[in-house]
Structure 1
Amino acid sequence: MGNGIFEPEFLKRLERLSLNMEKLTGAGSGGLRKSKAKGSSVEFSDFREYSYGDDLRRVDWNAYGRFEKLFVKLFMEEREAMVNIFVDCSRSMDFGTPKKSVMGIQLAAAVAFLALNNMDRLCINLLKKDAMVSSNVLGGKGQFDICASFLDNVGFEGTTNMDKAIKLKKFGGRGLSLVISDFFIQGSLEDLMKYLMFYKQDIVFLHILSPQEMNPELHGQVRLKDSETGEMVDVDITPSINDKYQKTLKDFKASLKELTKKYGGTYVTISSADSLEKILFEDMIATQIIK
């Protein structure tokens, strides 16, 4: 994929956006985004290791003399967000025209760019069956190429037990957890939500569906194949079956939305046929995920 996933003009437009931490974390949470407040902002808080793209003026050269490593000073009102992006890599995500997997990777890259551009800490997590493959923790706009390379050639196969996979994640503190999936998964989402809440994660579900799933154009006798298990089933697609399908899909999306709301999260339905520009500059701004 590389940095070429986005045209330079598109990146310039993205640079004007940011993750809306104030909305996502809610009032009184202490905030994840660094504040512009005066006064206490000069009070020293902590160090972290230097990452390519960081402001060299923040390097503590005395620490470098002692440890021969570069460290950056952090201040009380300049705490960084920790953003985790979880990408469902099940085979069902590779379905559709356009494929849900392509949209998922593009969304992961776009959100990663926003986080890095705003100096937040970032980790990309690929959910594979009941396991997880994670990138290093990245920080600074200059590390977007590393992020893009990590997302290169992601394979989509098998089923994902999202509950088991994400519970392998060890969170170091409060942060934002953004999940990209079609949610045709195994495991208890309720238990997963409780786990994320226990570790003080603010939750965003980006629910990707293909046009064929949103409005299937099937009629008469058809043989359907489960893309993950390979199971075959013969179905007679009648108008009443289509109506039941649409009701089931509507109830499925409503249950996901209600679950995220219950735990203070944000839910967005996305069609893989939509343009990335529409999703970022319309849908995600409308839901105040980004601003």
Structure 2
Amino acid sequence: MPAALLQPAELEALRRLQLRARRRVATGGSGQHRARGHGSSLDFDDYRPYQPGDDPRRVDHHAHQRLGRLLVKLFEAEDEVGLQVVVDTSASMAFGDKATVACRLAAALAVTAVLGGDRVRLVTTDGADAVGPWQRGRPAVGATLARLTDVRDRLVATPPVPADAQRLEAEDPALAALRRCLPASGRGPVVLIGDLLTPGWADVVRLLGAGRAGGALVHVVGRDDLDPWLDDDPRLVDADRGTEVDGAATAAARRRFVERRDAWLDGVDATAGAAGVTCLRVVDDLPVEAQILTLPRSGVVG
């Protein structure tokens, strides 16, 4: 039976954390963060579906009569943060324990948001049902953990088919996922959790920094990404593009690998810094009990 993403002790520890809104936000609800306005009766901003626990006075009865749906009015002056967590579900995330670590960290961020009275939305990069609904309140904890458990199990049990190389060069799936998030980014931070092994990673990081309420990157790397074990006649496979190349486990090849690895990591850090994106790097062999403890360094929770 697959292990639970979060243990009871970890859920209890998350109660002590809270989302940090690095920039002032304009949202709708009753969270604990500073908004762009004052009070609760300023400019109308948007609607969202009614959820258990919402104030019935915020239900738009005219919209209900027209559409047959219960919708709650949102106002810019209110201060509920809406956290969006984007989980990389590309083929390379199935290697090592990257999928498990990514989903654990996504779960921890989402639960922190919900327990703090904020909303959360999960987004994946795999296209189908990629954008989840906004969720809040205690029922969202179970729903969030269930969805992320499903994402992890799918990645581990049946790794995704590599994307067409030309298509991947033209449009990184993470770019499409982030574009879905940006219209709502004024309501709170966007966090991307992934390994950045696709060719368009730099554009992804730059777009992450374009959100109005800030962005953060949790860069999950595999131990094998950093220090692969190679036999005498390795065949190297790009999991995301499906391309293969023969290699040689020589000292010279090892030196070139280290140089390119270090240049890549430095490039990620530099690109994130230039884009105003906080970058937290997590290696997939980090002890389970330490994974959650790294999150405050992301700047998203504290």
For Structure 1 versus Structure 2, the TM-score category normalised by the shorter chain is: 0.7 to 0.9
Q: CA deviation at 1:4?
A: 4.5
1:290 maps to which residue? Answer: 301
CA RMSD of aligned residues (A): 3.4
1:90 maps to which residue? Answer: 90
CA spacing shift, 1:184–1:206, aligned 2, 3 Å:
same
> Which amino acid is the alignment partner of residue 255 of structure 1?
G
2:267 maps to which residue? Answer: 255
CA spacing shift, 1:176–1:240, aligned 2, 3 Å:
same
1:172 maps to which residue? Answer: 184
Cα distance in 2 between the residues matched to 1:94 and 1:219: 21
Match of 2:123 among 122, 125, 128: 125
Q: CA deviation at 1:225?
A: 2.6
1:238 maps to which residue? Answer: 250
CA spacing shift, 1:270–1:113, aligned 2, 3 Å:
same
Match of 2:195 among 165, 176, 182: 182
Q: Deviations over 1:11-34 (max 9, x none)?
A: 11111112222xx43xxx458863
Q: 5 Å matches for 1:190-205?
A: 190=203, 192-193=204-205, 195-205=207-217
Q: Deviations over 1:164-217 (max 9, x none)?
A: 443344623513111111101143633x45545555241111111111222223
Contact 1:63 / 1:70 at 8 angstroms: preserved in 2?
yes
Contact 2:50 / 2:71 at 8 angstroms: preserved in 1?
yes
Deviates more, 1:267-276 or 1:222-231: 222-231
CA spacing shift, 1:177–1:3, aligned 2, 3 Å:
farther
1:44 maps to which residue? Answer: 41
2:106 maps to which residue? Answer: 108
- Residues paired across the two proteins, number: 275
Q: CA deviation at 1:59?
A: 3.4
Contact 1:116 / 1:143 at 8 angstroms: preserved in 2?
yes
Match of 1:211 among 223, 240, 244: 223
Cα distance in 2 between the residues matched to 1:170 and 1:200: 8
> Which amino acid is the alignment partner of residue 234 of structure 1?
D
Equivalent residue of 2:150, what SS?
coil
Alignment TM-score, normalising by the size of structure 2: 0.76
Cα distance in 2 between the residues matched to 1:120 and 1:102: 25
Runs of 4+ in 1 over 6 A off after TM superposition: 72-75
CA spacing shift, 1:137–1:234, aligned 2, 3 Å:
same
Cα distance in 1 between the residues matched to 2:229 and 2:58: 64
Q: CA deviation at 1:36?
A: 7.4
2:175 maps to which residue? Answer: 163
Cα distance in 2 between the residues matched to 1:232 and 1:75: 51
CA spacing shift, 1:102–1:61, aligned 2, 3 Å:
closer
Cα distance in 1 between the residues matched to 2:41 and 2:83: 23
Structure 1, unmatched stretches of 5+, are: none
Question: Are 1:135 and 2:147 an aligned pair?
Answer: no
Contact 1:210 / 1:273 at 8 angstroms: preserved in 2?
yes
Contact 1:34 / 1:79 at 8 angstroms: preserved in 2?
yes
> Which amino acid is the alignment partner of residue 266 of structure 1?
T
Cα distance in 1 between the residues matched to 2:59 and 2:248: 74
Percent identity among equivalent residues? 19
> Which amino acid is the alignment partner of residue 144 of structure 2?
C
Cα distance in 1 between the residues matched to 2:198 and 2:59: 50
Q: Deviations over 1:270-291 (max 9, x none)?
A: 111113431322x322453321
1:269 maps to which residue? Answer: 281
